[in-house]
């Protein structure tokens, strides 16, 4: 108590302590304030001035994590053979993409981006994971699928790609069943004469359970690799690799991405900082007591 009172009674001697205390408080509170503003700020929907076309309103992704795909669905492969979807789900995770092969732009961008992303991942297609690309346009046949596969296997250029990346087609009922299970919706835009649809990829477990959604047209190699590791339940990479990858990153299903677990870091940093601050105050009070010993009682 004497030490605390001396700080008010003798400001010159305590100026350095006060400045350091204030600096520490700024260090502790500034990141928390930034995080609060960063993560609680709500988007301003009032800035949206153009109404979305009706076809686009009916297109999108509804995330259905932990939902099984209909593995008994019968599709057609690039060679015109009937295949069950489940034949591609064995002991490794599967990346599922819904596109249509005559798409004039967006589908090609998605597939290009996926290939570029997987080029930067050490895992090999066919050996460590599979890719299943399904046309949601039931009028497209296996000839288009074969041509599209030839283009992307050549562009991908990884060993095992031909056996690990499959381009499939199906009838209307089968496609509807698959897309509904995956939460993928699309709509024909009569004015533009093409399909309105969302962009993204899905990672499923070896058992065909929907595990991760990644949205947009650019996919982070880190995010996709983490998704594959997560979906594979440790069958890709060692348990150590899994711990190292997933300790600092947390999958946010609302964003479809992995992000640095900043709140965990802030909590840990706050505890360490408060402990250091308490230690600093204790040491400073002890030093102050030694510099200003109490006067002996008058005889």
Query: Which residue in 49, 203, 51, 31 sits closest to 129, CA to CA?
Result: 203
How confident is the model over 67-77, as a mean pLDDT?
Answer: 97
**1 or 75, greater pLDDT:** 75
How confident is the model over 210-224, as a mean pLDDT?
Answer: 91
* Nearest-angstrom CA–CA distance, 136 and 103: 11
Q: Which residue has the tokens 């024909």?
A: 188
Residue 167 corresponds to which tokens in the numbers above?
């381009």
Query: 195-223: b or e for each residue (b if 16 or more CB lie within 10 Å)?
Result: bbbbbbbbbbbbbbebbbbbbbeebeeeb
How confident is the model over 237-253, as a mean pLDDT?
Answer: 38
The percentage of residues in the chain with a pLDDT greater than 70, rounded to a whole number, is 63
What mean pLDDT is reported for the chain? 75
Q: C-alpha angle 198/200/202, rounded to 5°?
A: 125
Residue 101 has pLDDT above 80, yes or no: yes
Residue 135 has pLDDT above 90, yes or no: yes
> Are 250 and 12 spatial neighbours (Cβ–Cβ below 8 Å)?
no
Q: Is the pTM of this model over 0.75?
A: no
**106 or 7, greater pLDDT:** 106
How does pLDDT run across 184-213, given as a tens digit for each residue? 998 888 887 888 888 899 999 999 999 999
Residue 53 has pLDDT above 70, yes or no: no
Please tell me the predicted confidence (pLDDT) of residue 138.
96
**51 or 231, greater pLDDT:** 231
Please tell me the predicted confidence (pLDDT) of residue 296.
55
How does pLDDT run across 78-95, given as a tens digit for each residue? 999 999 999 999 999 999
How confident is the model over 114-127, as a mean pLDDT?
Answer: 95
How confident is the model over 143-156, as a mean pLDDT?
Answer: 97
How does pLDDT run across 9-38, given as a tens digit for each residue? 334 344 444 434 444 443 444 443 433 333
Query: 135-160: b or e for each residue (b if 16 or more CB lie within 10 Å)?
Result: bbbeebebebbbebbeebbeebebee
pLDDT band at 243 (very low <50, low <70, confident <90, very high): very low
């Amino acid at each position: 108590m004497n030490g605390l009172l001396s700080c008010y009674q003798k400001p010159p001697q305590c100026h350095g302590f006060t400045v350091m205390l204030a600096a520490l408080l700024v260090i502790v509170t500034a990141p928390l304030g930034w995080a609060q503003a960063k993560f609680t700020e709500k988007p301003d929907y009032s800035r949206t001035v153009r109404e979305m076309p009706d076809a686009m309103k009916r297109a999108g992704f509804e995330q259905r994590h932990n939902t099984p795909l209909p593995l008994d669905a019968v599709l057609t492969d690039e060679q015109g053979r009937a295949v069950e979807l489940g034949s591609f789900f064995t002991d490794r995770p599967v990346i599922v993409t819904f596109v249509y092969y005559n798409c004039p732009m967006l589908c090609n961008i998605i597939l290009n981006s996926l290939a570029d992303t997987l080029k930067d991942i050490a895992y090999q297609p066919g050996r460590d994971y599979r890719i299943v690309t399904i046309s949601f346009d039931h009028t497209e046949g296996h000839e288009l699928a074969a041509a599209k596969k030839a283009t992307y296997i050549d562009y991908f250029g990884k060993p095992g790609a031909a056996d690990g990346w499959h381009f499939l087609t199906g009838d209307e009922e089968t496609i509807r069943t698959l897309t509904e299970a995956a939460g993928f919706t699309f709509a024909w835009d009569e004015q533009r004469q093409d399909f309105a649809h969302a962009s993204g990829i899905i990672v499923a477990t070896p058992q065909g359970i929907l595990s991760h959604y990644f949205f947009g047209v650019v996919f982070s190699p880190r995010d996709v690799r983490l998704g594959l590791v997560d979906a594979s339940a440790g069958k890709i990479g060692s348990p150590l690799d899994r711990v190292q990858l997933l300790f600092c990153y947390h999958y946010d299903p609302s964003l479809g991405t992995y992000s640095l677990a900043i709140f965990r870091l802030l909590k840990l940093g706050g505890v360490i900082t408060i402990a250091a601050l308490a230690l600093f105050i204790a040491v400073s009070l002890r030093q102050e007591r030694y510099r200003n010993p109490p006067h002996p009682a008058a005889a």
